[in-house]
Structure 1
Amino acid sequence: MSNATLPEAFISQMKTYLGENEFEEFSVALAKDPKVSIRINRHKTQIQPENSKQVPWNEDGYFLEERPSFTLDPLFHAGCYYVQEASSMFIQHLLNSIEAPQDGIYLDLAAAPGGKSTLLSSYLGNNGFLVANEVIKSRASILKENIIKWGIGNTLVTQNDPEHFGDLGGFFDLVLVDAPCSGEGMFRKDPNAMSEWSPDHVSLCAARQERIMDQAGAFVKGGGYLIYSTCTFNEKENEEMIRFIVSEYDYEPIRIPLESSWRIVESKVDIDGSSYFGYRFFPHRVEGEGFFITVLKRPESALVHEPKKTKDFKHPYLKPVGKQDAEKLIIQLGLPDYSCFYNLQDSYFWVNKDFQQHFEYLCRFLNIRYFGVELGKINKQQFIPNHEFAVSILPKSGFLTVDLDLKDALDYLRKEDIPVKNLPEGWVLVTYENMPLGWLKNLGNRTNNYYPKDWRIRMR
């Protein structure tokens, strides 16, 4: 990408920020292919990828020497890793630095396609609960798929406008808003971002961000944290947004420690005698794309909104599973004691009992796309497992497994029939390198492949 292809106004803006000499380094970096990076799912695997180098600010992140065909890697479909741009993995360092509560209730307000949500889900593990929200229907479907593959089961996927959270002021321990932006940091990955860019577009994005943050600032409880990020460089969508948030809500500054070798640029915004901090990633300084992030803390004195206890949970679609049936499911499937269950369209869903009250309260306000882990159905006293259960980290006691080689694993992911020798009839959990891929049913003389039709791969 040459300077000639960059918008003139953008060149002028970046020269003002960087100076003539550093701008040349910046423009050279934009002409290079970005490094490919992945973040492993530590709840499924601890194995470092071959020929990789760790992302300095994330212990689960790795740079790959070259871009493989992820479509033809069964471990990708098993949710063992997520292909994520390295700069945005900085959120892990931020969470560790502020010691964000791992038993908290988090909200990712603009979550699709799911990179930051899966990172938050990993951080929370079995201790916390995440609401991953996306307003656009098609993008909410992609988010749902990635949450299912990640498989931790601590997430409620919703499709709502920010204003629909209006009754949840002071409810969340942490709110992340990766705001829709002008995308300056994605120019080398997304040519459309560059063709759409203009100073007017930047102003339009900033106005949209103000509308979002005008609401999102209220969702954080007293003592909780607000994380705001963009994939753009300009101050109007970054530092000026810090000024806007602090003008609308009472927030305290947080400063994150940095290693000088990371070459991340810290910026400072002085507001009413206090210094607020932002962190900017330039592609000529870091091995990653353009990114900006800040974190603010809600004063302890601010509103704390605890969910109201309800004697009986009533919902038009969700039905709680009774104690007796729940105990049967726990025994039959070998599930943990902290399990509770809901029925939706004859299918059983698992949720961590520790967050039952929060989950039921959230269901009163939000449009649900997915939650917990969908286990399966019971038909004529027989349990019929769902794909979502297969790729979850929940135990799957009592099921036979077959570990496939690469060829058979790819055929399975193409939804082709797989020959199974010397296995009794019934449901079989298909694995690759001992990582679950899904179910097949051995009928004796043939097998039925239950990999989801919409997810099958077509590449050869």
Structure 2
Amino acid sequence: MPPIKLPEAFEARMKNFLGNNEFPEFVKAIEKDPRVSIRVNPAKNYKNQNSQNPVPWNRDGYYLEDRPSFTLDPLFHAGCYYVQESSSMFIQHILESVQVPRKGVFLDLAAAPGGKSTLLSSYLRGEGFLVANEVIKARANVLKENSIKWGLGNILVTQNDPEHFRDLEGFFDLVLVDAPCSGEGMFRKDPEARNEWSEEHVNLCAARQERIMDQAGALTKAGGYLIYSTCTFNEKENEDIVRFVCSEYAYEPVRIPLEPDWGIKETTIETEDGNFYGYRFYPHLVEGEGFFVTVFKRPNDALVHEPKKSKDFKHPFIKAVGKQESQKLIENLGLEKESSFYNLQDSFFWINSKYQQHFEYLTRYLNIKYFGVELGKYNKQQFIPNHEFAISILPKTGFETFDLDLKQSLQFLRKDDFEIEGLPEGWILVTYHKTPLGWIKNLGNRINNYYPKEWRIRMQDHSKSL
């Protein structure tokens, strides 16, 4: 099948942008197969087999020689790695270069499907807290699933329009906006995107980005950072948005160090407040797809919005768990003392007490999809553990474990019935390569498989896995 032709208007603009000598190299690159890359989860027990092909700007990122069947790899379902385009992993280099405090509260404003949110979650470790937001319901559900699989428990998943954050101006230490865009940088990965491209769509995207950034620009606190990115090449959605932000808000430029052999192009963006910097990724110069990113710093004299303390937490659906019941959960499940618990629809949720105050304050304003780690519920004094608890990094003391082989793991992930000889009765945490996959319950005469029905894999073909 012949490649889908590039739109004429796009081609003319890129020729003007890159020059007649460089443009043919760009075209040649986007007709090649894209390079597959993954970013591993440092908090999970994963022995990476691809350490000889690192992504240069991210210590957890690796290129693969070909695209395996991720669906048939149990460790993918266990949240041991995320399949992420390598250019967007540059966010990690930004965080480390400017040394964003790990004890902060971060916001990923347009977060689905969750690649950058899981990256931010890993950066924060057990110190900070992330709000991962997505306005579209179906995409918010995907974001929730990927946040659960990543398993660190430091994410609050919300479903809100950017305007709903209006009362949280100056609240966040870092705001990331990976804006919905015209997708020119995906022309190699998704050739059909070429057919959908038009100048009208570019203008529509730029208008939407201005609306998002008009709100996002106010959310960063004094001394905090605002990161804006797209997967497109045109200036309307990139440099012009930087100029728009500078016309609306006081921000300072941030320059990120680059290694010359990375192939990333730094651009200087002239604004009324001086020069700002953008970073462009072209597929003929980097091992990755098209990407643009820029960083702003909020002046130290800007607004700082601290969460107000309240004696009693009140929410229509989420209830705080009392001290006695909290202590029972800590002892029964072997959790750390720095644990706060909430009840939602009879199920218990865990968050780290370090960010309890921020969490409770945020629930006043936002539509909550998921938070922390859902542990499970009590049924007649017996604790019924949830899948979310199983694949989190929280300890699971008091539960038997059993390591499955590949065949058994795929049976479990398909939610098939299977038999294992010699298992003790009761709840058992099943693992693959010692990494938790979920729960089974041995009733003596049968084994119940508690893998979530909506997550089960349907692929039967045993093609090559990672």
Identify the TM-score tier after normalising by the shorter chain: over 0.9
Q: Is the 8 A contact 1:51 1:65 kept in 2?
A: no
The 5-angstrom pairing of residues 90-169 of structure 1 reads: 90-169=90-169
The residue type paired with residue 402 of structure 1 is F
Kindly state the Cα deviation for residue 52 of structure 1 after the two structures are TM-superposed: 4.9
Matched, 1:384 2:384: yes
Match of 1:78 in 2: 78
Partners of 2:49 and 2:389 in 1: CA distance: 26
1:223-247 superposed Cα distances (whole Å, 9 cap, x missing partner):
0000000000011110111000000
Q: Is the 8 A contact 2:4 2:191 kept in 1?
A: no
The residue type paired with residue 177 of structure 1 is V
Match of 2:463 in 1: none
Partners of 1:357 and 1:453 in 2: CA distance: 34
1:287-336 superposed Cα distances (whole Å, 9 cap, x missing partner):
00000000000001000000000110110000000001101100110001
Kindly state the Cα deviation for residue 271 of structure 1 after the two structures are TM-superposed: 1.9
Question: In 2 relative to 1, CA 122–97 (structure 1 residues): closer, same or farther, beyond 3 Å?
Answer: same
Q: Is the 8 A contact 2:29 2:283 kept in 1?
A: yes
Match of 2:67 in 1: 67
Q: Is the 8 A contact 2:181 2:231 kept in 1?
A: yes
The ranges of structure 1 where at least 4 consecutive aligned residues each deviate by more than 6 angstroms after the TM superposition are 1-4
The 5-angstrom pairing of residues 226-375 of structure 1 reads: 226-272=226-272, 274-375=274-375
Partners of 2:352 and 2:82 in 1: CA distance: 24
Kindly state the Cα deviation for residue 200 of structure 1 after the two structures are TM-superposed: 1.5
Question: In 2 relative to 1, CA 330–51 (structure 1 residues): closer, same or farther, beyond 3 Å?
Answer: closer
Kindly state the Cα deviation for residue 272 of structure 1 after the two structures are TM-superposed: 3.1
Partners of 1:191 and 1:97 in 2: CA distance: 34
Kindly state the Cα deviation for residue 424 of structure 1 after the two structures are TM-superposed: 1.6
Partners of 2:321 and 2:3 in 1: CA distance: 62
Match of 1:416 in 2: 416
Partners of 1:35 and 1:27 in 2: CA distance: 16
Kindly state the Cα deviation for residue 48 of structure 1 after the two structures are TM-superposed: 2.3
Question: In 2 relative to 1, CA 51–125 (structure 1 residues): closer, same or farther, beyond 3 Å?
Answer: closer
Q: Is the 8 A contact 1:420 1:442 kept in 2?
A: no
- 5+ residue gaps in structure 2? 461-466
Match of 1:18 in 2: 18
Question: In 2 relative to 1, CA 304–51 (structure 1 residues): closer, same or farther, beyond 3 Å?
Answer: closer
Number of residues of Structure 1 aligned to a counterpart in Structure 2: 460
Structure with more relative contact order (C-alpha pairs < 8 Å, separation 6 or more): 2
Kindly state the Cα deviation for residue 64 of structure 1 after the two structures are TM-superposed: 0.4
1:82-133 superposed Cα distances (whole Å, 9 cap, x missing partner):
0000000000000000101101000000000000000000000100000000
Partners of 1:387 and 1:78 in 2: CA distance: 11
Partners of 2:418 and 2:71 in 1: CA distance: 19
Partners of 1:272 and 1:72 in 2: CA distance: 53
Kindly state the Cα deviation for residue 46 of structure 1 after the two structures are TM-superposed: 5.3
Partners of 1:46 and 1:344 in 2: CA distance: 32
Partners of 1:330 and 1:289 in 2: CA distance: 45
Partners of 1:118 and 1:372 in 2: CA distance: 13
Match of 1:216 in 2: 216
Partners of 2:310 and 2:162 in 1: CA distance: 25
**Residue 329 of structure 2 aligns to a residue in which SS?**
helix
Q: Is the 8 A contact 1:49 1:62 kept in 2?
A: no
The residue type paired with residue 134 of structure 1 is E
Partners of 1:55 and 1:106 in 2: CA distance: 24
Partners of 1:255 and 1:141 in 2: CA distance: 35
Kindly state the Cα deviation for residue 273 of structure 1 after the two structures are TM-superposed: 5.7
Q: Is the 8 A contact 2:157 2:371 kept in 1?
A: yes
Q: Is the 8 A contact 2:169 2:220 kept in 1?
A: yes
Match of 2:464 in 1: none
Q: Is the 8 A contact 2:247 2:272 kept in 1?
A: no
1:210-261 superposed Cα distances (whole Å, 9 cap, x missing partner):
0110011000000000000000001111011100000000000000000000
Of the structure 1 ranges 192-201 and 62-71, higher mean CA displacement relative to structure 2 is found in: 192-201
Kindly state the Cα deviation for residue 195 of structure 1 after the two structures are TM-superposed: 1.2
Kindly state the Cα deviation for residue 193 of structure 1 after the two structures are TM-superposed: 2.0
Kindly state the Cα deviation for residue 192 of structure 1 after the two structures are TM-superposed: 3.4
Q: RMSD in angstroms over aligned alpha carbons?
A: 1.1
Q: Is the 8 A contact 2:50 2:63 kept in 1?
A: no
The 5-angstrom pairing of residues 187-202 of structure 1 reads: 187-202=187-202
1:254-281 superposed Cα distances (whole Å, 9 cap, x missing partner):
0000000001000001223621000000
**Residue 22 of structure 2 aligns to a residue in which SS?**
helix
Partners of 1:52 and 1:15 in 2: CA distance: 36
Q: Give TM-score scaled by structure 1 length.
A: 0.99
The residue type paired with residue 423 of structure 1 is L
